[in-house]
């Protein structure tokens, strides 16, 4: 998996865009084709469920790569909780997989009961965006930051396909700086 992580941190914005958005478009094509081949019957085919989960997992893994790397670049006193970040990444994936499998089979009364779980998944997604955008500024500035300072990256992550074009070059610069710093440290230790 470190090859994928390195790709997400080093790749130019257009490559990350093509991989993530291309995959999400492919997922939508599989879902629509699966629905069309079902001829209106209830239930989503397994291929559509798997395609949707692959898209969700890859997008979450992109966020994990960014969040984990940016967290490691921030000063220790300013770091946010990685455990909570991991939970907020996993909950929407697990919940949406469950929801996709049972949504068309449950009674309408249960849908109302699922509404708070849906809201929690949405709150987790917003929390992910907040974590990554705040850590981006913490890594760049190496000091505490306010929401007013990281509102622009926050907004860019929310409009994800467009935001990649502006955010990925910043991440590339941070990654290149950390890679050169690690190389320098390794050379100093080998002497």
Q: What is the pLDDT along the chain (191 residues), one digit of tens a residue?
A: 488 888 888 888 889 888 888 877 887 787 777 766 665 555 566 666 777 788 788 889 999 999 999 999 888 877 778 999 999 999 999 888 887 777 767 777 777 778 888 899 999 999 999 999 999 999 999 899 999 999 999 999 999 888 889 999 999 999 998 766 665 555 555 65
Cβ(138)–Cβ(74) under 8 Å?
yes
Cβ(91)–Cβ(123) under 8 Å?
no
Cβ(120)–Cβ(98) under 8 Å?
no
Indicate whether this model's pTM tops 0.75: yes
Q: At what angle do helices 13-38 and 2-10 cross, to 10 degrees?
A: 120
Cβ(24)–Cβ(55) under 8 Å?
yes
Give Cβ neighbours of residue 91 (< 8 Å, ≥ 6 apart). 120, 121, 124
């Amino acid at each position: 998996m470190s090859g994928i992580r390195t790709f997400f941190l080093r790749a130019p914005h257009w490559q990350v865009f093509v991989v993530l958005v291309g995959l999400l478009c492919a997922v939508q094509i599989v879902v629509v084709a699966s629905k069309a081949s079902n001829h209106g019957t209830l239930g989503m085919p397994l291929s559509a469920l798997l395609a949707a989960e692959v898209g969700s997992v890859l997008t979450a893994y992109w966020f994990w790569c960014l969040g984990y790397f940016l967290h490691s670049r921030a000063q220790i006193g300013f770091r946010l909780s990685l455990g909570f970040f991991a939970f907020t990444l996993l909950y929407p994936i697990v919940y949406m997989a469950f929801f996709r499998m049972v949504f068309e089979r449950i009674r309408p009364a249960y849908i109302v009961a699922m509404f708070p779980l849906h809201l929690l998944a949405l709150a987790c997604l917003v929390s992910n965006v907040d974590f990554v955008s705040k850590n981006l500024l913490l890594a760049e500035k190496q000091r505490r930051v306010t929401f007013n300072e990281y509102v622009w990256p926050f907004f860019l992550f929310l409009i994800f396909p467009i935001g990649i074009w502006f955010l990925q070059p910043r991440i590339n610069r941070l990654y290149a700086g950390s890679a050169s710093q690690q190389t320098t440290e390794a050379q100093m230790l080998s002497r």
